[in-house]
Amino acid sequence: MNIKSFTVSSLNNYIKRSFDNDFILSNVYVKGELSNFKKHSSGHAYFSLKDEFSKINCVMFSEEVKRLKFHPKDGDGVEIKGRISLYLKEGSYQLYCNEMNLQGLGEVYLSFLKLKDKLEKLGLFNEINKKPLPKYPKKVGIITSPTGAALRDILNVTRRRNKLTNILICPALVQGQEAAKSMVKGIRKLNAIKDVEAIILARGGGSFEELNVFNDEELAYAIFESKIPIISGIGHETDFTIADFVSDFRAPTPSAAAEILIPKLEDILLYVESYKSKLDNSLKFQLYSSKTKVEALRKTLEYYNPKEYISNQYNHINMLINRCSNITEGKIKKEMDRISSLNQILNSFNPLNILNKGYSMITDSDDFIIDSVETLKNCKDIKITMKDGTVDAKLIVK
């Protein structure tokens, strides 16, 4: 029996006809959660519909999109009416949507919100618990897929910014059921290495389902309990995961995580040069200040040098001696002048000077002057003083 050989196109056409002719698949209602909803400039909408275990790619053309009564977004629970058909060019089947009705939030997104609320109440997202990133890390650990674009981006940024930074790659799964456990193991392994100063937890872009491995409770606690600060660079800027909320710093992309964590070598060198200049200026100022102080102390020591002090004191003593001599001589002269003046006065009033004129002075035996006849009559012994001497005499009164 000969079996007909298909071309790829003919096989895809056959499968497409099978889908289109199937009664159920041509008019089907499907419930699920919206993911990766994107509206094209043409007006068409492309997205995925998923549940806890599976997903299907969907397309809704612009005419049907215009009839929607709400604005679809990721995480919405919806019921879709449409048909299953094959996209010939890619050979993939998808759900072509005619109607979409809002059913609430999807189970996967609700699970994410529930865990987020729980961990937030426990304080795992609190800024107080965030560890600061090192300013100049010497060794950085990277937890990501060893074959992914995220690692290449991080390494490119690191080489460009600072080739001196040591990078320690800790390979881990970043998708699939074992991914969370693999990353938890990587965090604990890097924490056991003493000189690792920071950790980048990274993965490139992906759908909500692919990034959902970062919404794991055990991974969240491993990040929170890490002694080494962790910066997350997961997906794109619009993607948020539990790991982002718990990490010490959240970067919008893996490349941005490296940009934030790895300082430019040129900036470091400029910073060092700036401080070197400041240090030089500070040392020069300190030397000048110290020299000035030493010079002042030297002058003080010279001023208070014992030899200088003694010499200065000799001069001071001589000055005092001269001053005392001048004062004493002045006082002596002044007193001599006063005595001379008094002497002249005494001489002018000295009764003895009258004797030089031929007069004489009579005194009693006690040298009291006799100045009357009556006094004389009462004296027997008298003294007569003349200019050339004194003689004793007896008075005989008749």
CB-CB contact of 374 with 391 (8 Å)? no
Looking at residue 343, what is its pLDDT? 83
Provide the CATH number for the domain around residue 85: 2.40.50.140
Of 269, 220, 275, the closest CA to residue 244 belongs to 220
Q: Examine residue 83 and state whether it is found in any structural domain, yes or no.
A: yes
Is there a single domain that holds both residue 294 and residue 378?
no
Q: Which two tokens stand for residue 284?
A: 């020069």
Looking at residue 106, what is its pLDDT? 65
Of 237, 188, 238, 233, the closest CA to residue 214 belongs to 233
Looking at residue 255, what is its pLDDT? 92
CA atoms within 13 A on the CB side of 27: 1
Is there a single domain that holds both residue 222 and residue 257?
yes
Looking at residue 104, what is its pLDDT? 64
Is there a single domain that holds both residue 142 and residue 89?
no
Is there a single domain that holds both residue 187 and residue 74?
no
Is there a single domain that holds both residue 100 and residue 210?
no
- Per-residue confidence of the chain (398 residues) as pLDDT tens digits? 566 778 888 888 888 888 888 878 888 889 888 988 999 999 999 999 988 788 899 999 999 999 888 888 888 888 899 999 988 888 889 999 998 887 766 677 778 888 999 999 999 999 999 999 998 899 999 999 999 889 999 999 999 998 888 999 999 999 888 999 999 999 999 999 989 999 999 998 877 778 889 999 999 999 999 999 999 999 887 778 999 999 999 999 999 999 999 988 888 888 788 888 888 888 888 888 888 898 888 888 777 777 766 777 778 888 888 888 888 888 888 888 888 888 888 777 776 677 777 777 788 777 788 778 777 777 777 887 777 788 877 777 66
Q: How many Å is the Cα radius of gyration of the chain?
A: 61
Q: Which CA distances in Å does 25 have to 12, 13, 82, 345?
A: 16, 16, 8, 162
Residue reference for tokens 């982002």: 244
From 263, 284, 310, the end of a domain falls on 263
Is there a single domain that holds both residue 209 and residue 176?
yes
Is there a single domain that holds both residue 300 and residue 324?
yes
Q: Examine residue 2 and state whether it is found in any structural domain, yes or no.
A: no
Is there a single domain that holds both residue 162 and residue 244?
yes
Number of domain units in the chain? 4
Q: Examine residue 113 and state whether it is found in any structural domain, yes or no.
A: no
Residue reference for tokens 């991914």: 179
User: How far from each other are the two terminal CA atoms of the chain, in whole angstroms?
Assistant: 219
Q: Examine residue 339 and state whether it is found in any structural domain, yes or no.
A: no
Q: Which two tokens stand for residue 251?
A: 């970067």
Is there a single domain that holds both residue 217 and residue 157?
yes
CA angle at 158 for the pair 202 and 273, rounded to the nearest 5°: 135
CB-CB contact of 87 with 106 (8 Å)? no
Q: Examine residue 188 and state whether it is found in any structural domain, yes or no.
A: yes
Q: CB-based contacts of 13: which residues, under 8 Å, 6+ apart?
A: 88
Q: Examine residue 20 and state whether it is found in any structural domain, yes or no.
A: yes
Looking at residue 193, what is its pLDDT? 92
Is there a single domain that holds both residue 72 and residue 180?
no
Is there a single domain that holds both residue 144 and residue 248?
yes
Is there a single domain that holds both residue 58 and residue 150?
no
Q: Examine residue 119 and state whether it is found in any structural domain, yes or no.
A: no
Q: Examine residue 217 and state whether it is found in any structural domain, yes or no.
A: yes
Helices (H), the chain: 8-21, 62-66, 107-121, 149-161, 179-191, 208-211, 217-225, 242-246, 254-261, 265-303, 306-349, 352-355, 373-377
Q: Which CA distances in Å does 361 have to 27, 40, 346, 370, 396?
A: 180, 161, 18, 8, 18
Note down the domain range covering 374: 352-394
From 241, 263, 285, the end of a domain falls on 263
Model confidence, pTM: 0.54
**Cα–chain center distance at 256:** 24
